[in-house]
Every structure is written in structure tokens, then in C-alpha cells.
Amino acid sequence: MALTATASQGFELLRLTGADDVLYVPGDPADAIVRGDQLVSTVGEGVVDLLAANEGGAVGRAGKTVTMPAATVAMPLVTVDVADGSEASNCLVPVKPNVGAGIPVYRATFANHWDDTVVSYTAATRALALTTGMTADDYPNGALLYIYEGTGAGQVNVVEDYDHADGAAELLLICHRPFTVAPDSTSKIIVVGGEGAGSRGVGFFNRCEAGADNALTVNQGADDGDYVVYLDFRDAASFLKTLTLPVIPARYLMLA
């Protein structure tokens, strides 16, 4: 059975942004980040990365100095203590977003995501073999992924790469990091969006559009959508399990 959304009231106001907002977001493995560094979240990656020289588009600044663990370190559980200094906690970067105070943060249901069943999982390559698959190579790159049923339920990851080939065992979804609890053939997942152009999955600080029935559509607007995902990793499961995302109007994200 596919995951279905509960009744939605459309764009529900959660809160207003504060001057001291900090969002904990997965970083790119092996990045050496210094407090105050400008960070970007590129379409097709869905995690934060160091701003390169002469590059624009910073979504915020790092709130601490940390070296991101290698990609072999598992994605933390959403309950991770970000102050314990563990490898799991160091997978997350506190980001001070380039957003002013008093901006509305909405909870909105999303549609046009992918819902699939895992065939198998290989931890060494971080690869999920899928039952149905997702249209074409790279289609969901950068997308949030959530296990909603079966072994490993409740875990969140980000899609790094997707290889669409013939046969179920060749529909390989490569995750940003291994899972702490390895999924298996009982595991069911959702993947948040992806446009036909490829590499436009919806991840942290990525964009999407408003669609029908006063909801978000996550297969459109990844590069120019009207709403930006304003999500702390530690809250991700609580939103994704209800097919909702917290978003702000994109015009209020001041890309540096």
C-alpha cells in the first residue's frame, strides 16, 4: 500500500522565522567547514556544500567548525544529539539561513513524489535496488528519501545518484550515506520529486511549486519554484511521514 496524505488545510502557517533561526542540514562528505563559511545547496545534490570561489547562491552560513565524515559513515537517525560530538552528529551542519526574521513558514502537503518498494540494499555502495523505478537516469538526484514502512522505517536520506536500466535489480538508487538500520525487501520508500530534465529532486533548501488543491507539486520548480524547503533534518521524518514539507516563499531567501 502506498503512503497517502492525511487531510490538508492547504498552506498552514507553522510559525514566523526568527532572527536566530538555525537549521541542521546534512553536509557534503569530507568538506572541512569553518564557522561562518558560506554554504550552498545545489539542485541535484540536496545537501549543503561549501561555496566555491567566485560562486554565488549561498543559502546561509555555517554555525560551527566541523569536518564532514566520509561517505561511509551512516546518515544519522533523526533523534541524533547534535551536541554529542559523534560521527553521526558531525554529518549535520548548523546553518544560519539567509532569511530575515518574521517570514512565514508554511506546512503544505506535497504530491507527484515517487513511492516504491525496495528489492535489496547494499550498504557498501549505498545502493537501493527498486521494484518500479523512476523514469530515467539521474531523475531524482538530490531528493529527500524516507522509509515509511518495513525494516528501517523512520529513516531519512538524500538521493545522490540514480541509474535506470532494464530489470528491477538494475534500478539502483544511490544514497548520500549508508542507512543506520539497513532496509530490505520489506521496506517501502518515498522519494520527493524529480523533473524530467534530471537531477532536480527536492532536498534541503531546494525549490518546488504550488500545485492543484493548494498543495506543493515536487516534480516541478526545482530550479525556479515559488517555495523553498525550510527543513531541519531532525524534523524531517515527522513531516515526510504525513507527506508534508515546511516551506517559505522563495523570494525571501536572500542568496548571497
What pTM does this model have? 0.95
Q: How far apart are the C-alpha atoms of 118 and 185, rounded to whole Å?
A: 5
Going by C-alpha positions, the residue among 36, 32, 28, 15 that lies closest to residue 96 is: 36
Task: Say if CB 254 and CB 232 are below 8 A apart.
Answer: no
All three cell numbers of 173? 538508487
Q: What is the mean pLDDT of residues 138-156?
A: 96
The domain 114-191 is classified under which CATH number: 3.30.43, 1.10.3470, 1.10.1330, 2.40.10? 2.40.10
Q: How far apart are the C-alpha atoms of 198 and 149, rounded to whole Å?
A: 27
Segments making up each domain of the chain, as ranges? 114-191
Q: Give 90-117 pLDDT, tens digit per residue.
A: 999 999 999 999 999 999 999 999 999 9
Q: What is the mean pLDDT of residues 190-197?
A: 85
Q: What is the mean pLDDT of residues 65-81?
A: 94
Q: What is the mean pLDDT of residues 17-32?
A: 95
Q: Sign of the C-alpha dihedral, residues 68, 28, 219, 172?
A: negative
pLDDT band at 7 (very low <50, low <70, confident <90, very high): low
Strand residues in the chain grouped as ranges (E): 12-16, 23-26, 32-33, 38-40, 49-50, 60-62, 66-67, 92-97, 104-111, 114-122, 127-130, 144-149, 156-163, 172-175, 188-191, 207-210, 216-217, 227-229, 244-249
Residues 6+ apart with CB under 8 A from 251: none
More confident residue, 204 or 56: 204
More confident residue, 82 or 6: 82
Q: Give 213-252 pLDDT, tens digit per residue.
A: 789 999 999 888 999 999 999 999 999 999 999 999 999 9
Task: Say if CB 43 and CB 22 are below 8 A apart.
Answer: no
All three cell numbers of 104? 512565514
Q: How far apart are the C-alpha atoms of 26 and 92, rounded to whole Å?
A: 4
pLDDT of 116 reads 96
Which three-class secondary structure state does DSSP give residue 252? Answer: helix
Give the C-alpha distances (Å, rounded to integers) separating 207 from 41, 120, 201: 10, 30, 9
